[in-house]
Structure 1
Amino acid sequence: MTFSVSHVLTAYVADLLLGDPPSWPHPVRWIGRLIEKAEGVFYLDSERKSGFSTVLEPDGASDGRLRVLGIAFWMAVLGAVGAVVTGALLVCHLIHPFPAALLGVWIAYTCLATRSLYDESAAVARALSAGRLQEARRLLSRIVSRDTGHLDEEGIWRALVETVSENLSDGVVAPLFYLALAGPVGAVVYKTVNTLDSMVGYNNERYRDFGWFSARMDDLFNYVPARLTAVLLLAAGTLWGLDLRRGWAVLKRDARKHKSPNAGFPEAAVAGLLGVQLGGPGVYFGRAVEKPSLGDPLTVPDERAFRHTTRLLFTVSAAAAFLAALARALWG
């Protein structure tokens, strides 16, 4: 089936209007359940049958058998999702192009997260502005991986700016990028790669080797979108009267300081545009982690910085949707 300009824009507008109602069916939740089932086959069952241990050696050496299982697991999940979505679209298309178009638009819409990213972060901001610090910490814990129980107001504002900046790439620009390249199948394959990383791509005892390939492939799939997001952020910052020169300088200086090869690009761009410092020490899963600082502490992250960040979110998402639609028009 052809996924046209109108399909891209319809999916984008649907995301803006509807967001992600928790009671509605969602492919990403189904993908998450598939990943859990597949992990039980490739990790737990294989461990019992082969009898090998998943405990890391004292010297930290990699376990090659777990890495091979992790690669097979990644390929099986991705292949299953791609085959099911492609098959469903083809079957609908054989019936009539209209249900195929509806299914394609629905799949594309569920892969986008502009509205849900705003809704979740704005709920934290409202609680914090009203002085409900404990509620703000609780709501923030739903959208970030760090421990939030010790954060003060400034720490919460900083975490909000960071998570909106980073997830602007993962949740908006990257799905639109792959939607432009390969239609709904491309978008849902990207979301599968991203979900695999979020579920098994951890550098801990259990997943260091088994999730290694999932983490590396997520880095690969996000390489171009993260840098595209940074460029779009600088352009959007110019429209809103923010400091383009400082944004570009901080992006060049700090983007590669981040442990992730991609997350530092949108975060550094926003830090430079707003004149705030992101990153720094944090607590993750009960363990203190020293993250590099991005940007300069010219001002403290506050409600004003969050408002600027949400403006950048909507401006960049609209620009990315326009570029995706344009790419589909040229591709078609």
Structure 2
Amino acid sequence: MIPLILGYTLDLLVGDPQGFPHPIRLIGKMIENVERVLRKKCKSAQDERRAGIILWFVVVLTSYAVPLVILWLSSKISLLLAGAIETVMCAFILATKSLKDESMIVHKYLEQNDLSSARKYLSYIVGRDVENLNSNQIAKAAVETVAENTSDGVIAPMLFILIGGAPLGFLYKGINTLDSMVGYKNEKYINMGRFSALLDDAANFLPSRIASYLMITASYILNMDYVSAYRIYKRDRYNHKSPNSAHTESVCAGALNIMLGGPNYYGGTLVTKPTIGDDKRPVVNDDIKKANKLMYATSLLCLGIGITVKFLILSF
């Protein structure tokens, strides 16, 4: 519990230092290298599906085993050393400050009416085409990113850490990184990425729902429209191709009384998606700040409640 508390605090203070070798980037490199080796042996769609399963187990088990061995070896030297290393690990696993910082860069350029720079930095955190987005559409995309990633970037890894420490947190990040890199339904990954996509859905099933109720509570604490947050959540939480992604998005849309989702262009192709929330007003730049406040409050609630529950369980 102590490394999680300290790691969360460290993440809020420092975030992800630029130029420092980030463990999640190392997981990404491992995925690329293992995929490259496995693809050379694939002659059919069935081979690709089998390779996808092997890829998943290699990446996920390695993501768990490496930090586990590091912590075990360091504990043989000193428990304080192991605690310090696990604290840094927890800070790397959580993405609270980096999520805020990346979205607030977009906010800064929108504030300056520099749409070109706002689009540029937005492109680093979203997958859609950004070239023709106006200021309201840019703000909406940034809010959607913060809302969706509140679950899989902050709450889900925190819950995994609470259950099994930093090693289980890295196991989750392995699952999540695999989905973000190979979990697509395009020609390249429809077979190899299928297993990773399914297991990511399974891993996020409970965390996304826990995150949503924590976010509804946070909207009440922040004096946002918690009644609408709950109503929109119950109505629109499945308005997404993923069974989990619209849960926190729908809460955020309701709390801010805005509409998220809807059609967007990806690679020049218009992709029609359901809307989330009611179109009561346009999404504006200030909504990025509000979404971040909601994300921070939700993460603090999760940490406080999670630590309390774990302490009570261990007390028995």
Structure 2 length as normaliser, TM-score? 0.96
1:17 alignment partner, one of 1, 5, 13? 13
Find out whether 1:131 has 2:113 as its counterpart. Answer: yes
Aligned partner of 1:101 in structure 2 is 83
Distance, in Å, in 2 between the alignment partners of 1:127 and 1:298 is 25
RMSD: 1.2
Give a deviation string over 1:238-277, Cα, whole Å, max 9, x none.
1122222211111111111211100110001111111111
Q: Which contiguous aligned blocks of 4+ residues in structure 1 show a shift greater than 6 angstroms?
A: none
1:270 alignment partner, one of 249, 252, 255? 252
Find out whether 1:90 has 2:72 as its counterpart. Answer: yes
Aligned partner of 1:141 in structure 2 is 123
Aligned partner of 2:94 in structure 1 is 112
Aligned partner of 2:263 in structure 1 is 281
Distance, in Å, in 1 between the alignment partners of 2:310 and 2:226 is 30
Aligned partner of 1:57 in structure 2 is none
Structure 1, unaligned runs of 5 or more = 54-62
Find out whether 1:150 has 2:138 as its counterpart. Answer: no
Find out whether 1:223 has 2:205 as its counterpart. Answer: yes
> Helix, strand or coil for the counterpart of 1:86?
helix
Distance, in Å, in 1 between the alignment partners of 2:167 and 2:92 is 12
Distance, in Å, in 1 between the alignment partners of 2:24 and 2:214 is 26
| 1:300-315 map, 5 Å | 300-315=282-297
Distance, in Å, in 1 between the alignment partners of 2:13 and 2:53 is 38
How many residues get paired?
314
Query: Structure 1 residue 286: deviation in Å?
Result: 2.3
Distance, in Å, in 2 between the alignment partners of 1:81 and 1:179 is 13
Aligned partner of 2:4 in structure 1 is 8
CA contact (8 A) 1:89 1:103 kept: yes
CA contact (8 A) 1:157 1:302 kept: yes
| 1:123-272 map, 5 Å | 123-272=105-254
CA contact (8 A) 1:8 1:324 kept: no
Residue 278 of structure 2 aligns with an amino acid whose one-letter code is D
Query: Structure 1 residue 218: deviation in Å?
Result: 0.7
Distance, in Å, in 1 between the alignment partners of 2:305 and 2:28 is 29
Structure 2, unaligned runs of 5 or more = none
2:41 alignment partner, one of 46, 50, 55? 46
CA contact (8 A) 2:136 2:285 kept: no
Distance, in Å, in 2 between the alignment partners of 1:274 and 1:173 is 20
> Helix, strand or coil for the counterpart of 2:265?
strand
Residue 41 of structure 2 aligns with an amino acid whose one-letter code is S
Query: Structure 1 residue 189: deviation in Å?
Result: 0.5
Structure 1 length as normaliser, TM-score? 0.92
> Helix, strand or coil for the counterpart of 2:272?
strand
2:57 alignment partner, one of 65, 72, 75? 75
Query: Structure 1 residue 331: deviation in Å?
Result: 4.4
